[in-house]
Amino acid sequence: MNVALKRWYSSERKKNVNPLILISNNQNIHFNLSLENFLLNNYSDLLKHLNVNTIEKYDDPVLFLWRNNRSIIIGKNQNIWSECNLENIKEDNVIVARRFTGGGAVYHDLQNLCFTFLNNTLNTDNNFSIISKTLKKHFAIDAQKQGRNDIIVNDRKCSGSAFKKIKNVFLHHGTIMVNLEKDVLKRYLTPDKIKYIKHGVSSVNARTINLKEINPNITCQNLCCALIKEFQAFYKNGVSNEEGEANHAATLNVEDYTGGDKGATPSEQSHTNLSGNLNEREKNLDNLIDNSSPISNHFNIHYIDTNESITKNPEFLKYFNLLKDWDWCYGKTPKFQNRLCKQFNFGKFEVFFNVSNGMIKDGNIFSDCLDVNLVEQLKFIFNNDVKYSKDSVASFLRDLQVENKDTLAEITEWILQEL
């Protein structure tokens, strides 16, 4: 526990609102989503899990800040095959995760700041106000809330949000695009949707903007520090606005906290392995802020990484393993139908896959091909509990006993290209 957190919880601390800031120094999406869900489900016992106090219940606002390496995150109820180009994602070693909240599919990298507000009252307007004020006051960026979920700048989206409630605890989380690698969005999030008959939620390909396009000096690090200042100022906790401006103007100058990603390009960002540990290249990337930062000495900041006791908790590990599980990410998919159609030299093939929970449940094949036995053999895929994935479909088709192996190989290649 750092010095600031000890001071915050001292017997002399104020008895009114005492907000807490948590920062993840891990950049793995499965780790951070697991941590977020653990914080939500254990909100009232946060002091115990942070080794601050084992008795007192917590009921004040929390701001959790985090970043992820290159990841695609889909909403809880989305159709992963409808929303993602899984072939490109796999080719580029991008991690895919299904979060616990609703909403649309998004892309994350290290130039994207993620925020989570936790509170025992529903106050999303306050949260949006804190973000908008941060951008206006510290970076001269005029941002407005649009609709229920978004923040826009110059009529273009820079932030999206999602929400969840558990046991009278409200979660509001979202992203802020600082310098996101937008060029890859088409590669990962714009597959052909015409061939799907969907019953899930579909993402809107909204026009987006990076904040760095408006203010070249903004970074994830100085934005992180600015959000912390405005979050604390909003709830008037710890160092008051007047006292803070008078006594700590130099050490808490947001513009001083540019961090290690200043000037970094998206291509210089690296990946995290699935265990959540950082590889050698990532160790050269500064965290959002750390214990050595002057701002850490003045606010109630707690840093969480793989060595934190929370990450050894069985409940955290349950969430972590669930997020990495194929059935959660791919199997938890609304029912949908995929229609494939192609004219070959040996005949026309029209294939319908009915998919539920990531498995091929049934379907049909229509063809004017003269090889009736081949068509009948192909239909066995509909009653053999085959996963709706390239590897599983390929394995099943290649094991079929047919006379014309060349024809089967051509059909197999086509189906795999279309999945």
Q: Which pLDDT band, with edges at 50, 70 and 90, does 249 fall under?
A: very low
Contact 311, 304 (CB under 8 A): yes
Residue 323 pLDDT exceeds 70: yes
pLDDT band at 290 (very low <50, low <70, confident <90, very high): low
Question: pLDDT at residue 125 above 50?
Answer: yes
Closest by CA to 105, choosing from 146, 71, 69, 60, is: 71
Nearest to 191 by CA among 78, 83, 340: 83
Q: Which range, of 94-98, 193-197, 262-266, averages the lowest pLDDT?
A: 262-266
One of 3.40.50.970, 1.10.10.60, 2.60.200.20, 3.30.930.10 is the CATH number of 3-330, namely 3.30.930.10
Determine which of 104-118, 257-271, 334-348 has the lowest per-residue pLDDT on average.
257-271
Q: Where are the beta strands (DSSP E) in 301-407?
A: 301-304, 336-344, 347-356, 359-367, 386-387
Q: CA-to-CA distance for 387 and 358, rounded, in angstroms?
A: 6
For 29-51, write each residue's pLDDT tens digit.
999 999 999 999 999 998 888 88
For residue 12, is pLDDT > 60?
A: no
Most confident segment among 167-181, 228-242, 322-336, 363-377: 167-181
Q: Is the pTM of this model over 0.85?
A: no
What is the rounded distance in angstroms from the CA atom of residue 21 to the CA atom of residue 6? 13
292 band by pLDDT with thresholds 50, 70 and 90: low
| 3-330 shares its CATH topology with 335-418 | no
Q: What's the rounded Cα separation, in Å, for the pair 164 and 245?
A: 35
CA distance 286 to 25: 9
Q: What is the DSSP letter of 158?
A: E
| Mean pLDDT of all residues belonging to the chain | 80
Examine the pLDDT at 382 and tell me if it is beyond 70. Answer: yes
Range of weakest confidence among 99-113, 135-149, 213-227, 261-275: 261-275
Least confident among 18-22, 197-201, 269-273: 269-273
Domain at 335-418: CATH code: 3.30.390.50
Q: Spell out the residues 6+ positions from residue 96 whose beta carbon is closer than 8 angstroms to its own.
A: 71, 72, 73, 74, 80, 84, 86, 89, 329
Nearest in space to 378 (alpha carbons), one of 410, 350, 400? 400
Distance CA 282, CA 270 (A): 6
For the four alpha carbons of 102, 107, 110 and 113, in that order, the dihedral sign comes to negative
Q: Please report, rounded to a whole number, the percentage of residues in the chain having pLDDT higher than 70.
A: 76
- pLDDT value of position 54: 66
Q: What is the pLDDT of residue 192?
A: 42
Query: Where are the chain's structural domains?
Result: 3-330, 335-418
Query: How far apart are the two ends of the chain, measured CA to CA in Å?
Result: 49
pLDDT, position 299:
64
Q: Are 272 and 28 in contact (CB under 8 A)?
A: yes
Lowest pLDDT segment from 12-16, 19-23, 145-149: 12-16
- Residue with more model confidence, 109 or 358: 109
Region of poorest pLDDT, from 226-235, 293-302, 351-360:
293-302
